[in-house]
Amino acid sequence: MQIDRDMNILVVDDFSTMRRIVKNLLKELGFSKFDEADDGSTAWPMIQSGKYDFIVSDWNMPEMTGIDLLRHVRANDKLKETPFLLITAEAKRSQILEAAEAGVDGYIVKPFTAATLNVKIQKIFERVEERKKAAGA
């Protein structure tokens, strides 16, 4: 499947080194349009602009967590379809299930590899495609 490499991606993490790493990995995968936010609370107004086709977020952030950000996105009629990937050190089964319940599209536990990120992104957009087809059919 061909993924649109021109999509706008928002990378949310409170550690700038991790944002840098994620951006570099996404660049290696052929993506080029990124914005950054250092917390859920700064990401949310950015997302509300409707600009982003894909959100990659950390969980544990000081003001608004990634899971809360996900819930905000899913509760908004205009934004709720936005693919949302959590990349996080949070590794409790109960947390992963909670994220699934909140509507996460993918979940990667840190530390992770470029290959894992690639596979997850492929999978997420395959499913987005399937959803679109199902909605159109």
Partner 1 sequence: MEKEDYDNASQALDDIIATRDSNLLEQVEQIAQNLHDTLEQFGSDSMLLQQTKHGLPDATERLEYVIQTTEEASNKTLSAAENIIALLETLESQATDDAQKEFINKAQSEVTEIMMAQSFQDLTGQVLNRVIMLVTSLEQSLMELINKSGIHIDDIPDPAESDEKRKAEEMRGIGPNVTKSSQQNVVNSQDDVDDLLGDLGI
- Which residues of the chain form contacts with partner 1 (CB under 8 A)? 59-61, 65-67, 88-98, 100, 104-110, 112, 116
Pick 41 or 95: Cβ nearer partner 1: 95
For the stretch 84-89, contacts whose Cβ atoms lie closer than 8 Å and that sit 24 or more positions apart, written own/partner, are 84/55, 84/57, 85/54, 85/55, 85/56, 85/57, 85/120, 85/121, 85/124, 86/57, 86/58, 86/59, 87/13, 87/22, 87/56, 87/57, 87/58, 87/112, 87/117, 88/58, 88/59, 88/60, 89/59, 89/60
Minimum CB–partner distance for residue 46 and partner 1 (Å): 20
Minimum CB–partner distance for residue 89 and partner 1 (Å): 4
Minimum CB–partner distance for residue 51 and partner 1 (Å): 25
Pick 38 or 105: Cβ nearer partner 1: 105
Pick 47 or 67: Cβ nearer partner 1: 67
Instruction: Yes or no: say if 52 and 33 are a contact pair by the CB < 8 Å rule.
Output: no
Minimum CB–partner distance for residue 120 and partner 1 (Å): 9
Minimum CB–partner distance for residue 26 and partner 1 (Å): 18
Pick 49 or 113: Cβ nearer partner 1: 113
Pick 38 or 90: Cβ nearer partner 1: 90
* Structure token digits, residue 50: 């409707």
Q: Determine the Cα–Cα distance for residues 16 and 27; give it in Å rounded to an integer.
A: 16
